[in-house]
Amino acid sequence: MHKIVRNIPRPDPEAVKILGELGVATVHEAQGRTGLMKPYMRPIYPSAKAAGSAVTVLCQSGDNLMIHAAIEVCKPGDILVVTTTSDSTDGMFGDLLATSLVAHGVVGLVIEAGVRDVSELTAMDFPVWSKAVHAQGTVKATAGSVNIPIVCAGASIQPGDVVIGDADGVCVVPRERAPEVVKASQARFAKEEKNRHSLREGKLGLDMYGLRAKLKELGVEWTEE
Amino acid sequence: MHKIVRNIPRPDPEAVKILGELGVATVHEAQGRTGLMKPYMRPIYPSAKAAGSAVTVLCQSGDNLMIHAAIEVCKPGDILVVTTTSDSTDGMFGDLLATSLVAHGVVGLVIEAGVRDVSELTAMDFPVWSKAVHAQGTVKATAGSVNIPIVCAGASIQPGDVVIGDADGVCVVPRERAPEVVKASQARFAKEEKNRHSLREGKLGLDMYGLRAKLKELGVEWTEE
Amino acid sequence: MHKIVRNIPRPDPEAVKILGELGVATVHEAQGRTGLMKPYMRPIYPSAKAAGSAVTVLCQSGDNLMIHAAIEVCKPGDILVVTTTSDSTDGMFGDLLATSLVAHGVVGLVIEAGVRDVSELTAMDFPVWSKAVHAQGTVKATAGSVNIPIVCAGASIQPGDVVIGDADGVCVVPRERAPEVVKASQARFAKEEKNRHSLREGKLGLDMYGLRAKLKELGVEWTEE
Amino acid sequence: MHKIVRNIPRPDPEAVKILGELGVATVHEAQGRTGLMKPYMRPIYPSAKAAGSAVTVLCQSGDNLMIHAAIEVCKPGDILVVTTTSDSTDGMFGDLLATSLVAHGVVGLVIEAGVRDVSELTAMDFPVWSKAVHAQGTVKATAGSVNIPIVCAGASIQPGDVVIGDADGVCVVPRERAPEVVKASQARFAKEEKNRHSLREGKLGLDMYGLRAKLKELGVEWTEE
Amino acid sequence: MHKIVRNIPRPDPEAVKILGELGVATVHEAQGRTGLMKPYMRPIYPSAKAAGSAVTVLCQSGDNLMIHAAIEVCKPGDILVVTTTSDSTDGMFGDLLATSLVAHGVVGLVIEAGVRDVSELTAMDFPVWSKAVHAQGTVKATAGSVNIPIVCAGASIQPGDVVIGDADGVCVVPRERAPEVVKASQARFAKEEKNRHSLREGKLGLDMYGLRAKLKELGVEWTEE
Amino acid sequence: MHKIVRNIPRPDPEAVKILGELGVATVHEAQGRTGLMKPYMRPIYPSAKAAGSAVTVLCQSGDNLMIHAAIEVCKPGDILVVTTTSDSTDGMFGDLLATSLVAHGVVGLVIEAGVRDVSELTAMDFPVWSKAVHAQGTVKATAGSVNIPIVCAGASIQPGDVVIGDADGVCVVPRERAPEVVKASQARFAKEEKNRHSLREGKLGLDMYGLRAKLKELGVEWTEE
């Protein structure tokens, strides 16, 4: 029942790069407000930023055996995405594992559990998004899987999906949708740039987005006092 | 039932300035330990600090339409205070709205919901206190109100109340009470300065505040081991 | 029933120093994954780091009277460990109390409640681990105890135990076990240094820790796709 | 600053009775989806149901002194509404206080904190809505107020407002609005009865509320598979 | 982007019936400890029990428009499974919608949000599993989808999957796996019956499952005191 | 490091019986408001009530191996008290284990984790206090200990301590203190009976406990309106 899949399809690296630069908020909007992880997934330092191809890991809670198994099948440009069979805040990952990931070209970690050695990870500039910071150690006793479809922090992920993380959280872009999401994200970015300019000059969103009519239709009234 | 109030009374700007400088902990104490928002309201960056006159906004959860409506009635020196009809962590506010607020002289945002684009907001040094950071986008479909009395993060607020925020959280000072709270806060600050000096020299709070008698009255015993 | 114990045994200062340098994650592992506080205990600034001999304080929720009582029995090198009779996020501690603690040589605070004046505490570089940041003021009306055994954030602590805190949280080392835990921690540190070197060169944890056999024994299968 | 107000306006008892019978969900809707407390306010037994005129109490967390003070100013038909200066789950109320309330004709308790003796309270059929069940005892040491405006579980309440509770939670109806809310609630109830009949016969909400057009306008598409 | 799928494959009704009778704990174990929803999904009354074929619904938070749209495509034996675009506790469902579902043969509701009219739903014996009980009303303003793959309370669900609920929570069985999971669940049930008999006679799990060797292998020691 | 202690001191069964009858709220008060577990520990059915001598169990999160080991050292009248190395809601215990405990005369379970088969446990009238109800299965792979001092839900427990549970939660009475706590609890019960009588006749707590003076001393003022 438990397995480690060695070879997975991976997204176009250029698409990954662009999506990472455009950032979580823009990409999430551009793909129709889907793929976002829950807000409890926070970066361990404010400037953490990463984008990569997902290698997925399902671990027993409190057991990081499968993270070790996953590293062997990682390739440069991958991002590790780890969840557990039930809610856990254990510190399943620390600077030794990060050292190993860096040696294999992995660009970051998304883990729906805890992480430790956060000072060292910050010094290494190894970006991590986690549910908790906790020193609690784990065992290596129970089977799990690598590169199977998982649900992480409320988001459904397939191995090889694009995962991007920044200060706003973590977003998943399905691999096959990556090209269209790149386009939609770039279009959104361009539109927002233009809007930003208008707003900076004092124009109101009410006018820019035509919301006055909407407010009236909804029966909202303006009163002087 | 839903309305946007254009004109509201505003507090004395000098009082706002002084209260902001004295900070949340001092002002909260000086006004009798009232007006404080719940501790889940956190600044998006550690040095965030603001004080302003409240423009209040009540939105449907997951809908930021009324934030757009509120900007039109804001004046320089205002601070936007947003709550929702029920608990939500959606990212109702980002850098575009912040750009618009800055263009209209608004000095900060207090939002009992989520916020996004936090890297950009930090770079802009636009102070925000929120319940969550989340990229989750919102709609513009449902009516709400601007400048009505609201409850935000457990605190009752009237439009035009003084709202101050810093690393310790957010505190509301009723507009009419502002002058007396300024005085009480300044008095408290002066007293604390004096106490700080004594404590720095090693004097004990036990002696300074006369607490030994209290401890004895309560039956607390000192034992050698 | 309530008491303040003046004299307590204290651990070897050299052991305290070494344990503090080795850090929470290493020490927690080295002593058999015990003594760790819950993950909701977070430092108020990322670089906070401290190690000391515990002076324990049990307060009524919302009442910091016994913190004042505790300072008198503190000695240089101590760390104050405060809990309350029931869950509370009130800001029981601020920069005045920190000034007093610094004047008596206390090196940090661990408090299962709230703390305020965090900007000032950060500027003072006074390390604090707390459950919340909240400006909420407290009273001085109810008896409690100093230097009795307490449970703080899930960890059992005796007065005089070694308490260390860093970015990964807070860990308690029983005073009598300190010498052996120093040795075990140093051994673990040395082993990890060696492993770090191997991992940096690309060696896999799977091989280094002999986990391939374990995976097979558990029935995990490798598949190509 | 702290006070006990002896005389407060009270709502029409007939209005209170009708609102209580119509229930929280109907009344909350009928008054425009306002006045509802947070969902963490739960009845201590499933059949708990009450409606009364609010006597409001603000206590220090962990201190039930002001509940004792409040009983003296209660009248038959009142419901006690208690909050604390900061979040607390302490068991501020038990069967002795309930016995006292019953002796004075009080019909129920809404408390944003903990409650104990829940078996006895259930046997007495004394309805309570609370944030927690906890045996944790409290002190009687700190001042608070009775019959001042408070915020309880996110809802703003004035003394003399109508408070109704049932299995769906707790809702506040401002005293002056009670007559109109009675009418609106009865109208809503009648309309729902009619809709219930149609729905029971298999009619779809899509048709009954004219939602097909809305779905099309929003661009939702029906597909066969 | 948003759609309502009219026709979906459905599982064998006999398999659904058997899985429902065997219950969540047994089925979850039998299918390899997968498919379980988070523990915050609780039945609104203790005896709630249901099994059906999933009709999935994705709603905007605070908006129940798509529940209305879903009813039209439901068939007898279905169970409605609803989630929202972000965390919400709003009462999206009440007794009117339940009346409509019953009229169309739907056997229960699983909703990662709030529910209201719980007294009426209990009286109707209409089983519901939800994240919260809340009277908070919702709007009908924003598009969503029916019968698309969703993630509900941490579990991935396809339209037509078997969903079973009882006092232990909610579990999803993928439609194609239903026949094998029936067999595995029945086998597990039979084995447990046998074990129950042995345990009732005083036999130890230590002996029955051969755990003494495991304990020794792990280095656990028995001591007399 | 991990061990199973076979023989432990046990409290006087008569004391256990009396403490159980007096209940959690009374005993907790009588022993000075200590020993209470956190409010998240709830009975799985409202009438659950038990008192026994604690057999303590420390398990790895998600692993119930040590519960099996503990049963062998249980004696009639014991109550099992289980905690885990870190926070977990996994369903570590179900009706098979309960059957085994009943066969060995164990009177209840207190578990800082999850439990499953709650319908069956309720039908057996086997009382359980837990942090969660969850069907999530566990493994039997990692060492732990039986009958060592543990911290469970914030309370410190020694093997052989008296543990009582009822609808108000769970309280621990240290074995050596049991005789005195019996006396103090009986005295409190008698006093409360008397007070209950006075309160039923309409006497005010204000007068009965002499609180008017306290209110005046605190500066609380009575006003007519």
CA nearest to E163, candidates E35, E29, E30:
E35
Q: Encode chain E (225 residues) as per-residue pLDDT tens digits.
A: 899 999 999 999 999 999 999 999 999 999 999 999 999 999 999 999 999 999 999 999 999 999 999 999 999 999 999 999 999 999 999 999 999 999 999 999 999 999 999 999 999 999 999 999 999 999 999 999 999 999 999 999 999 999 999 999 999 999 999 999 999 999 999 999 999 999 999 999 999 999 999 999 999 999 999
Burial zone of F190 (CB within 10 Å; 0-12 exposed, 13-18 middle, 19+ buried): exposed
| pLDDT tens string D99-149 | 999 999 999 999 999 999 999 999 999 999 999 999 999 999 999 999 999
Spatial distance between the Cα atoms of F93 and E18, rounded to a whole number of angstroms: 24
Only one residue has tokens 């098979």, namely: F96
pLDDT the model gives residue D71? 98
Percent of chain D with pLDDT over 90: 99
| Local structure of A222: helix, strand or coil | strand
CB E63 within 8 A of CB E140: yes
B141: nearest CA in chain E? E141
CA nearest to F66, candidates F18, F113, F13, F133:
F113
DSSP C19-85: HHHH-HHHHHHHTTS-SBPPTT-EESSTT--EEEEEEEEEE-TTB-HHHHHHHTT--TTEEEEEEES
The chains found to touch D (3+ Cβ pairs under 8 angstroms) are: B, C, E, F
E147 touches chain B (CB under 8 A): no
D120: nearest CA in chain F? F167
Contact D85 C136 (CB under 8 A): yes
CB C138 within 8 A of CB C63: yes
| pLDDT tens string B16-67 | 999 999 999 999 999 999 999 999 999 999 999 999 999 999 999 999 999 9
C144 touches chain D (CB under 8 A): no
Contact F151 C155 (CB under 8 A): yes
Residue among E5, E45, E64, E96 with most chain D CBs within 10 A, to mutate: E96
* Torsion angle, alpha carbons of E150, E63, B62, B157, to 10: -140
Only one residue has tokens 């007559």, namely: D179
CB B185 within 8 A of CB B179: no
Spatial distance between the Cα atoms of D183 and F203, rounded to a whole number of angstroms: 40
And the tokens for C150? 């307490």
Spatial distance between the Cα atoms of D91 and D115, rounded to a whole number of angstroms: 4
Of C29, C196, C206, the CB nearest to A69: C206
* Amino acid identity for residue E164 in this structure: I
- Chain A residues with CB-CB distance to F62 below 8 A: 60-63, 85-86, 88
CB B56 within 8 A of CB B147: yes
Structural domains in chain A plus CATH codes:
13-182 (3.50.30.40)
pLDDT confidence tier of residue F48, bands split at 50, 70 and 90 = very high
F132 touches chain E (CB under 8 A): yes
Q: How far is B35 from chain A (nearest CA, A)?
A: 24
Q: How many helices (H) and strands (E) does chain E have?
A: 8, 12
And the tokens for D46? 């499933």
Q: How far is C189 from chain B (nearest CA, A)?
A: 33
Element (H, E) at B5: strand B3-5
Interface of B with C in 203-222 (CB under 8 A): 203-206, 209, 211, 214-215, 218-222
The count of other CB atoms within 10 Å of the CB of residue A157 is: 24
Contact B156 D156 (CB under 8 A): yes
CB B157 within 8 A of CB B8: no
| Mean pLDDT across A155-163 | 98
CB C111 within 8 A of CB C82: yes
pLDDT the model gives residue C1? 81
- How high is the mean pLDDT of chain C? 98
Contact F135 E201 (CB under 8 A): no
Q: How far is B62 from chain E (nearest CA, A)?
A: 7
E83: nearest CA in chain A? A154
DSSP state at residue E26: H
F31: nearest CA in chain D? D137
Could you give the angle at the alpha carbon of D104 between the alpha carbons of D101 and D110, nearest 5°?
A: 35
How many CA atoms, within 13 angstroms, populate the side-chain half-sphere of residue B153? Answer: 28
Contact A201 B103 (CB under 8 A): yes
F45 touches chain D (CB under 8 A): no
- Name, in order, each residue with C-beta under 8 angstroms of C211's C-beta and a sequence gap of 6 or more: A65, A68, A69, A140, C205
| Contact exists between E and C (3 or more beta carbon pairs < 8 Å) | no
Only one residue has tokens 């429902």, namely: E20
| Local structure of B96: helix, strand or coil | helix
- Chain B residues with CB-CB distance to E134 below 8 A: 86
pLDDT the model gives residue D1? 81
pLDDT confidence tier of residue A110, bands split at 50, 70 and 90 = very high
Q: How far is CA A128 from CA A43, B135, D112, E121, in A?
A: 6, 17, 38, 45
**Residue C63 pLDDT > 90, yes or no?**
yes
- Chain A residues with CB-CB distance to B104 below 8 A: 202
Contact C200 A103 (CB under 8 A): yes
- Name, in order, each residue with C-beta under 8 angstroms of E193's C-beta and a sequence gap of 6 or more: none
The count of other CB atoms within 10 Å of the CB of residue A164 is: 29
| Local structure of A159: helix, strand or coil | coil
CA nearest to D143, candidates B212, F220, A66, A119:
F220
Contact A136 C211 (CB under 8 A): no
Contact D151 B149 (CB under 8 A): no
Spatial distance between the Cα atoms of C50 and C127, rounded to a whole number of angstroms: 7
| Mean pLDDT across F41-62 | 98
Spatial distance between the Cα atoms of B182 and B161, rounded to a whole number of angstroms: 13
* Amino acid identity for residue E136 in this structure: Q
Q: How far is B90 from chain A (nearest CA, A)?
A: 9
Q: How far is CA C194 from CA B17, C84, C187, C190, C199, in A?
A: 57, 43, 11, 6, 9
**Residue F1 pLDDT > 90, yes or no?**
no
A135 touches chain F (CB under 8 A): no
Spatial distance between the Cα atoms of D136 and F155, rounded to a whole number of angstroms: 13
CA E115 to chain CA mean position, Å:
16
- Chain D residues with CB-CB distance to F195 below 8 A: 96
End-to-end CA distance of chain C: 67
Of D61, D139, D142, the CB nearest to C88: D61
pLDDT the model gives residue D51? 98
CA nearest to D64, candidates B153, F202, F29:
F29
Of C36, C85, C156, the CB nearest to F33: C85
Helix axes E178-200 and F95-103, enclosed angle (nearest 10): 10
**Residue A126 pLDDT > 90, yes or no?**
yes
- Chain E residues with CB-CB distance to D168 below 8 A: 91, 116-119, 133-135
| Contact exists between A and D (3 or more beta carbon pairs < 8 Å) | no
- Chain F residues with CB-CB distance to A63 below 8 A: 62
Q: How far is CA C111 from CA B194, C116, C158, E64, in A?
A: 26, 12, 15, 44
Spatial distance between the Cα atoms of C188 and D34, rounded to a whole number of angstroms: 59
Of B88, B90, B139, the CB nearest to E142: B139
- Chain A residues with CB-CB distance to F115 below 8 A: none
| Mean pLDDT across C100-115 | 98
F71 touches chain C (CB under 8 A): no
Contact D223 E142 (CB under 8 A): no
pLDDT the model gives residue B17? 98
Spatial distance between the Cα atoms of C124 and D75, rounded to a whole number of angstroms: 54
Spatial distance between the Cα atoms of A39 and B132, rounded to a whole number of angstroms: 7
E96 touches chain B (CB under 8 A): no
Percent of chain E with pLDDT over 70: 100
Spatial distance between the Cα atoms of F37 and F81, rounded to a whole number of angstroms: 12
C85 touches chain F (CB under 8 A): yes
* Torsion angle, alpha carbons of D217, D221, E1, E3, to 10: 120
Burial zone of B128 (CB within 10 Å; 0-12 exposed, 13-18 middle, 19+ buried): buried
How many CA atoms, within 13 angstroms, populate the side-chain half-sphere of residue D8? Answer: 26
C61 touches chain B (CB under 8 A): no
CA nearest to F79, candidates F140, F8, F131:
F8
CA nearest to A57, candidates A145, A129, A165:
A145
Backbone dihedral region for residue A110 (phi beyond 0: left; psi -120 to 50: alpha; all else: beta): beta
E35: nearest CA in chain A? A85
Of B39, B149, B151, the CB nearest to D154: B151
Spatial distance between the Cα atoms of E101 and E149, rounded to a whole number of angstroms: 21
Spatial distance between the Cα atoms of B131 and C92, rounded to a whole number of angstroms: 22
Cα Dmax for chain F: 69
Phi, psi of A42 (to 5 degrees): -120, 145
E3: nearest CA in chain D? D221
E157: nearest CA in chain A? A156
Of A36, A39, A220, the CB nearest to B143: A220
Contact F85 C33 (CB under 8 A): yes
**Residue A1 pLDDT > 90, yes or no?**
no
Percent of chain C with pLDDT over 90: 99
- List the beta bridge partners of residue B82: B57, B111
pLDDT the model gives residue B1? 81
Residue among B72, B73, B96 with most chain A CBs within 10 A, to mutate: B96
- Low-confidence spans in chain B with pLDDT less than 50: none
B88: nearest CA in chain D? D38
And the tokens for B10? 């505003």
Of F62, F85, F141, the CB nearest to A86: F62
Strand bridging mode C78-84 / C50-59? parallel
pLDDT the model gives residue B174? 98
How many CA atoms, within 13 angstroms, populate the side-chain half-sphere of residue D32? Answer: 11
Of E72, E118, E144, the CB nearest to D204: E72
Backbone dihedral region for residue E3 (phi beyond 0: left; psi -120 to 50: alpha; all else: beta): beta
pLDDT the model gives residue E1? 81
- Chain F residues with CB-CB distance to E29 below 8 A: 137
